[in-house]
Amino acid sequence: MTEDSTIIEDRNRLLECLRLKQVVRAGWTRFPIDNPETVASHSWGMALLGLLTCPKDLNLEKVLTLALIHDLAEVIVGDLTPHDPEPEGGKRAAEEKAIAQLLDGHPRSEELQSLWQEFEDRTSPEGLFVAGLDKLDMGLQAEIYENDFGVNLDEFTNASRRMVTDSYLSSLLKP
């Protein structure tokens, strides 16, 4: 592969991944919320929460990487909610295929796919912590939308309280 073709391939991959900034978080679209967040803004929110709450005994770089890539496959598969029909072969299989496609040819493809799997499988302390950040961000965003739009989003705040198992992260949710 020539240097020019590598640059073109890298550029195309970046453009595709940055489309995550246009994928709206589907769960919020069922409610009267003006301009709901995108998947990329959710990932950024998780990264910020991780930066500000990561315990000293966890690898902060890994936490940030997991937060940033955990929903990257949604560029291709979309933001599927429990209310959506399951893709043929299942959501997990569709996302695995999408993440492999997005990272194909990247020099760190194997490492990043492995980290993505680690988040999905919750096989490390960082993966478990970031899974908590995922639900904490949802719960805090629901609180913001409730305050801004006067809409009842108890289904999101209740789900967050059920799913956040880290005691400190759980304490940050609305009681």
Name the pLDDT band for 80 (thresholds 50, 70, 90). Answer: confident
Could you give the residue ranges of the DSSP H alpha helices within the chain?
A: 3-18, 39-53, 60-69, 74-77, 91-103, 109-121, 125-149, 154-163, 167-171
The SS3 call for residue 82 is coil
**Domains, the chain, with CATH or none:** 3-125 (1.10.3210.10)
Residue 118 confidence class, pLDDT cut points 50, 70, 90: very high
Per-residue pLDDT at 155: 95
Q: Is the pLDDT of residue 1 over 70?
A: no
Asked if pLDDT for residue 3 goes beyond 80, the answer is: no
